[in-house]
């Protein structure tokens, strides 16, 4: 029987989306925890196959106790060389744990919608090893970015927020984008947080849905292959 994967979520009704579904298809149970609402995080990941920390409307710079607890806790998978995947806020928390800055765009710009992703030479090396190219465009919902920490590899870049994907050690990754989003999630986010679509740089709802039809098939293929290698690298 395969070990469960820890899923750290930040809102009461958040779901692990496509990442959760793909891991379940691989035979992993999902150990869902919400530290914001009082759930404890494990002292070790010895009984888990890995951990995924998802996004949320809060900032890695917020003073809340649960934010500080999660940032400190990231030392557990790093020390144990367990697969860690940080998505948006989870990537920013990884960067902050490693001493890098998390910052708002100086012109107040946001990335909400589909934007280009440009792999670095290190990112190209990994995609060659994985056997799947990086997506050309990926889905975003954020107005903060992060610097690449010392000791991490920059794997992909972008325009307004240059750090888009980092690798740390054998099996820790931070992705500024959201490969886990489903069509239903995009519809929900663009309705419940419609006011965010007025931010500079944000795409309107129609453009986001058009972008999904254009770009998501490749994102879906990439994520499917990436998760296999992410889990295998941690087990190696």
Catalytic residues: 88, 178, 180
- Burial of 105 by CB count in 10 Å (0-12 exposed, 13-18 middle, 19+ buried)? middle
């Amino acid at each position: 029987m395969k070990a469960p994967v820890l899923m750290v979520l930040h809102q009461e009704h958040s779901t692990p989306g496509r990442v959760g579904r793909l891991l379940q298809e691989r035979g992993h149970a999902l150990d869902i925890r919400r530290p914001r609402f009082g759930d404890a995080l494990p002292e070790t990941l010895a009984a888990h196959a890995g951990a995924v920390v998802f996004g949320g409307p809060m900032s890695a710079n917020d003073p809340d106790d649960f934010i500080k607890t999660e940032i400190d806790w990231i030392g557990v998978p790093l020390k144990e060389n367990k697969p860690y995947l940080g998505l948006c806020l989870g990537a920013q928390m990884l960067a902050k744990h490693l001493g890098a800055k998390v910052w708002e765009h100086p012109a107040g710009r946001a990335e909400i919608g589909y934007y280009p992703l440009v792999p670095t030479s290190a990112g190209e090396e990994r995609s060659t090893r994985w056997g799947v190219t990086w997506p050309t465009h990926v889905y975003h919902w954020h107005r903060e970015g992060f610097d690449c920490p010392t000791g991490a590899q920059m794997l992909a870049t972008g325009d307004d927020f240059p750090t888009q994907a980092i690798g740390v050690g054998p099996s820790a990754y931070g992705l500024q984008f959201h490969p886990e989003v489903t069509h239903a999630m995009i519809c929900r986010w663009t309705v419940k947080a419609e006011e965010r679509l007025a931010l500079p740089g944000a795409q309107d709802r129609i453009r986001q849905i058009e972008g999904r039809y254009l770009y998501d098939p490749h994102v879906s293929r990439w994520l499917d292959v990436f998760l296999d290698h992410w889990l295998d690298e941690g087990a190696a």
